[in-house]
Homo-oligomer: A and B are copies of this chain.
């Protein structure tokens, strides 16, 4: 293997692929980056067994100025190789297997020779055919992920809850996540005719990594099999394993009726909750209280060791019963952040039943649900 490439173009692909590579793996070859030089281009692969990312630089890509002198493949220690590539002195660099798995990296007057591993020992990526495929806008997918992934569980005691449940049918795309204390649900109508039907649970960790790669992408094609999902982002392939098992039925968790309805600006409410949480974080019980009365709404927090906080909220609209309800302010903060600077309707039944937050202008397509805390 021997090729010469523009460092800037190479580093861009290297950064994407490196998202999948961790030093914490139990499979030594996965701490490496796989490079395959073929006649028409160079393929970079990284994987942590859960997520795999593969991208290709073509000899037709002018910015990459890629010239393949000899085809071949190698696995190089990812972090060390990446550090070297980023600090080389010139714009061009040449990578060449010189003896066995020893690989030389040269740029200008600097040259490194590092020990690689046999590319044949690198695991194969899953084969995924085009059956069960749907294409959606990258911005929409990024929004769906950011609005739901906040509610996945971090606890391995119920692994199924560490993922987001995606349901796809002819007309709609539904994403739900819950850690059993809160829930986030987003529904999107598919604009094009879709014939694929799928029901999968994608690990939240995979979606967080994927979301970071969606910035300069227009559209994403999803291809789904029984145990893998592939996201195609232009020339970059993002594979994630799926979580196995049945996702709990979440539809019955969302209250259908309401006894108290109140409208806030999400950004204003978030600022008030942020302030109140300064106090609750100092105290043993991370709880704040919302009081809704005829005269308006108020956030309070009280911890004898630390102090008290009280803030009148700016209410935009209010109807229904008076109410006193306590909740974890961190769940509220995550939920409020997911709306951005819009007006939201908060809907309560009784103090110990979950309450919901929805955009005023967007019906039921996006719901955040929070379970209150019992304080008496």
17 intermolecular pairs with C-beta atoms under 8 Å apart: A80-B282, A84-B278, A87-B271, A87-B274, A87-B278, A89-B272, A109-B314, A110-B310, A110-B311, A111-B310, A112-B279, A112-B307, A112-B309, A113-B307, A114-B307, A115-B306, A115-B307
Nearest-neighbour CB distance to chain B for A169, whole angstroms, equals 44
Q: Can you name the residue of chain B whose Cβ is closest to the Cβ of A301?
A: B112
With a CB–CB cut-off of 8 A, which chain B residues contact A272? 89, 110
Bound Cα distance A30, B105 (Å): 54
Q: How far is the CB of A72 from chain B (nearest CB, A)?
A: 18
Please give the number of chain A residues whose Cβ is less than 8 angstroms from any Cβ of chain B in the complex: 31
Which A residues, 84 to 113, have Cβ-Cβ distances below 8 Å to chain B? 84, 87-89, 102, 109-113
Decide if A275 touches B84 in the complex (CB within 8 Å).
yes
Determine whether the beta carbon of B305 is less than 8 Å from that of A271: no
Name which residue of chain B comes closest to A299, CB basis: B110
Chain A facing B: main interface SS: mixed
CA A313 to CA B309, docked complex, whole Å: 63
In the complex, chain A residues 256-273 whose Cβ is within 8 Å of any chain B Cβ = 271-272
Tell me whether A271 and B89 are in contact (CB under 8 A): yes
A294 within 8 Å of B by Cβ? Answer: no
Is A308's CB within 8 Å of the partner chain B? yes
- Across the two chains, which residue of chain B brings its CB closest to A268? B89
Asked if A115 contacts B305 (CB within 8 A), the reply is yes
Cα–Cα distance between A89 and B273 once the two chains are bound (Å): 12
